[in-house]
Amino acid sequence: MSGLAIETHGAIRVLRIDRPEKGNSLDAATSYAMDAAITAAEADPAIGAMIVTGTGDRIFCAGMDLKEAAERGAGHGLVPGRGFGGITERKRMKPLVAAINGTAVAGGFEIMMACDMVFAADHALMGVSEVKRGLFAFAGGVQRLARQLPRATALALIMTGELVPAQRMYELGVITEVVPGERLMGRTLDVVSRMLDNSWAAINNGRELYEMSTGMSIEQALAVGNAWGKATLDSADSREGVAAYAEKRDAGFDNG
């Protein structure tokens, strides 16, 4: 039996890690359940985006279930080809947003770093504590810190394993927004819902071009953008968006 609760709010699928008695850590069953839930959401044309969060207000996710790891060996929560929780190595087609309700540590931090936007409760702490257990954050934490933070800042997190407040992560540009804990889910749902008023195709294309551009020279990225742009300018969503602006009305995109 997995420790995952799934909710649907309109076009938003919410995945809530529901193991508060275990620090919302992921055992293998929950990790694979998350992978299956994301696969289902990606295949559902009525779902435009996903949110991942945790039960309670103390811990978002404490990483892998260390008790299970002690009994079975570490790594059983790593889904082949898709990583921890089916998230950290996955190539997604739809946005995934994190609502960090409490401490995000180790694999929980790696899940957070793999998300497209991050909203965090003001009391949340986060970091990669694996070194304290003889490990390091190889499932995406180190790699994404290397891409997002200056060297000295990233290596301090990686090598000390110390946790830092959400506000500090916001200042470093890792977190989208810090909000009071009681407003976290309401704010996250509101932003994602308003995001989905836009063209879903444009959202996903923009997200994909961003990801591709991080590994390209600016010349390559511009060439890819121009190639995509020709199709985009002639798309039904583009025509509707331009017409809506000219007619001073809300656009009615063919989403879903």
Cβ contacts of 67 within 8 Å, gap of 6 or more: 22
The residue annotated as part of the active site, out of 7, 42, 68, 130, is 130
Q: Is 21 a catalytic residue?
A: no
Q: What is the dihedral of CA 221, 224, 229, 235, to 10 degrees?
A: -130
Token pair for 56: 């309670």
* Length of the chain counted residue by residue: 256
The residue annotated as part of the active site, out of 21, 110, 182, 211, is 110
What is the Cα–Cα distance from 74 to 50, expressed in whole angstroms?
28
What is the Cα–Cα distance from 40 to 97, expressed in whole angstroms?
16
Closest by alpha carbon to 128, among 150, 153, 101? 153
Token pair for 226: 């121009």
Q: Is 130 a catalytic residue?
A: yes
Closest by alpha carbon to 141, among 97, 177, 96, 106? 106
Token pair for 71: 């009994």
What is the Cα–Cα distance from 50 to 204, expressed in whole angstroms?
13
For residue 165, which phi and psi values (nearest 5 degrees)? Answer: -70, 155
Positions annotated as catalytic residues are 110, 130
